[in-house]
Structures are given as C-alpha cells and as structure tokens.
Amino acid sequence: MQKEKVIIIGSGPAGLTAALYAARGSLSPLVIAGPQFGGQVSLTHEIENYPGFPGGTGPELIETMRMQAERFGARLDMDVVLSVDLSKGSPFLIKTGNNEYLAEALIVTSGASPRLLSVPGEVEYTGHGVSYCGTCDGFFFRGKKVVVVGGGDSAVKESLFLTKFATSVDIIHRRDSLRAESALQDRAKANEKISFIWNTVVDEVIGANGKVKSARLRNLKTGETQDYPTDGVFIFVGHDPNNGIFNNQLKMDEHGYVITDKMMRTSVDGVFAAGEIQDPLWKQVATSVGQGCAAALAAEQWLSSREEPQVPVIPELKAALESQPAPAE
C-alpha cells in the first residue's frame, strides 16, 4: 500500500491548481486524474474568458496547467478512484483500479457533470455545436441561430447571455411554462431575440460535415416531430456532482454538492474540496482555480499543524509533579 502526503482526486482546473500549490509547498502531491482528464473544460473548443489565456482550446489550457504542476513536483496517475474510506480519519484509504493508497490529506476536485439528454448525436457533436456552457462557447455562435434546452434558471440565464451573439435563441421546454424565477422569465419574454417552443423535447441532434445542422423535435402533446434547423444546441437540464464515492462520508447539500467552509474544509478533518464538486453557482475555470489554490493552502496549513514538534516530557519530572500535594484553597 502506497503512502502519500496529499492525494488530489480529479484533474480539472481546481485539481491541477491544487497540485501546483501543494507541489510548491514541497508536498509532492499525487493527482488521480479520473475518467476525463482535465474535466469538463477539456471538452471546450476554445477558451477566451480565463485571464492570461486570451485564446486557445480547453485541452491546451489543461496541458499547460499539467506541465506547470509537474514542473514543481506534482505527479499524475491516469487512473480512476473506485472507493475511499474516510471513517477512520487520516490517513485515508483510497482504492483505484490499479493501486491502494493511504493519504494523510485529501483534496476532492472530482467536479460535476452536465446532465445529458442521452439522445442520438448529442455526444458525437459535443464541442461541434452541442454545448453545456453558454458563457464558455457563446462567442462562437455570433450571427447564428441556436436552441436552448431547459426551463430553469440556468437555461434562461444562458439564453439571455447567448442573445449577445446569436441572431435568435429558441428555448425548448418540455412543459408549458418555465421553472425559472419570475424576474428571469420577465427578462427573457421581453427579449426580442428569444422565443419559446413549449411541450417539446429533443429526440436527436442531426449534423453534417462535423457540425450541427438541426435538432429533431417532438411535441409531447401531439406527438408531431420536425427537424428544426439550428447551428447550436445548448443543453441546461441540470448538473450532477461526481459525488458517488463520498456518499454517507462527506456532508452534502440537498443537491449533492459537498459542503465546505471558506477554507475549503469539508465535514471530515483533513479532507478538503474545490471546484464544481462543491460549487453549485459559478462553474467557471477562474473560480475553480481560486478554490483549488485555497484548498491546497489550507491542506498545507493543516498538515503543518499536525507536524509541529511537541515538547518532550521527562518521565521522572512528570512523576515528581504528579506527587506534589494540591495547592491549598
């Protein structure tokens, strides 16, 4: 069984930033990459809203982060964590597909995954017209028509953002009314670029020459189908935190996001969390990077506090002190 000072679960921006800071703190962290190296950002075609990175792809940004972390001594294991045992406290038992580890401190950056429609063409055209982040990809649809799938706050917020670029934004919702807060609904209905397609679902994403061309829609009341022309399909039907291995071990909110304090500490001493596994709001590279930095610094501080030298007690002196009569009251 391999012993480690710090293990980081997840290799997105939060995880690689935590690795960089932990490595610079001489902790020689081990990053266990997980099923998708780089996390969600590795699926983003181009990134222009991360400071200091004015243009490039998601994979390019992740590769730069990896190289920087490894330069200072971080190590990367392209494996998947199968289980963790936090019940006995530090050191924590971590089992992967190929190894078992004992980690003195653990930083969880396993992220969250956008909920898929699970329809034909969705995976095939992800990054080529299908997107789960309007803030990330909206610019690339300047002057084009897009559809947004969903009816909650995220769907409406992203639709409003997309109107800065797209010529039209059609919100497709399976019900006959939105679930978003009233103020957002009012803004969307007042926006001349936004229209609504009610009681409808997407059954297939259709493309040609590597790009999305249309979405096959089905009206839930009439059963009628149509191939609706569009250049982009933005899907906002929720996110699912990648929390399975932490169930009944870390405290989570009602949506499954790990609860942390301002120092990124979880409910288990010595376990920290950063990025979208604990962030239900922002879901940006920049915020995840800041959280990863904070988690690593907090972990380093926690480890240092455990290693502070204790003043040795001479047995003879301790016995002599204990034999002294109690002071008079």
Pairing of strands 75-77, 225-229: unpaired
Name the residue with higher pLDDT: 247 or 46.
247
Mean pLDDT computed over 314-318: 59
How would you list the strands of the sheet with 145-149, edge to edge? Answer: 130-131, 232-235, 145-149, 168-172, 194-197
- Catalytic: which of 77, 85, 136, 203? 136
Q: Is 293 a known active-site residue? A: no
Q: How far apart are CA 178 and CA 199, in angstroms?
A: 11
Q: Is 170 a known active-site residue? A: no
Residue with tokens 């982060």: 65
CB atoms within 10 A of CB 7: 26
DSSP element (H, E) containing 65: helix 58-71
CB within 8 Å of 174: residues ≥ 6 apart: 151, 199, 200, 201, 220
Q: Residue 104: what pLDDT?
A: 98
Residue 47 has pLDDT above 90, yes or no: no
pLDDT tens for each residue of 122-141:
999 999 999 998 878 999 99
Specify the range with the lowest mean pLDDT, choosing from 100-104, 116-120, 153-157, 314-318.
314-318
Q: Residue 329: what pLDDT?
A: 43
| Confidence grade of residue 21 (pLDDT, cut at 50, 70, 90) | very high
Backbone angles phi, psi at 242, to 5 degrees: -85, 75
pLDDT tens for each residue of 152-180:
988 998 999 999 999 999 999 999 999 99
pLDDT tens for each residue of 198-233:
999 999 999 999 999 999 999 999 999 999 999 999
- Catalytic: which of 77, 133, 231, 293? 133
In degrees, rounded to 5, the angle at the alpha carbon of residue 82 between the alpha carbons of residues 80 and 88 is 125
| Confidence grade of residue 80 (pLDDT, cut at 50, 70, 90) | very high
| Percentage, residues of the chain above pLDDT 90 | 81
Q: Residue 322: what pLDDT?
A: 59
Three-state SS for 158? helix
Q: Residue 58: what pLDDT?
A: 87
Residue 54 has pLDDT above 90, yes or no: no
Residue 77 has pLDDT above 80, yes or no: yes
User: Where are the alpha helices (H) located in 105-214, listed in sequence order?
Assistant: 134-137, 153-162, 182-190
Helices H / strands E in the chain, number of each: 7, 17
| Confidence grade of residue 60 (pLDDT, cut at 50, 70, 90) | very high
Q: What value does the mean pLDDT of the chain take?
A: 92
Q: Is 133 a known active-site residue? A: yes
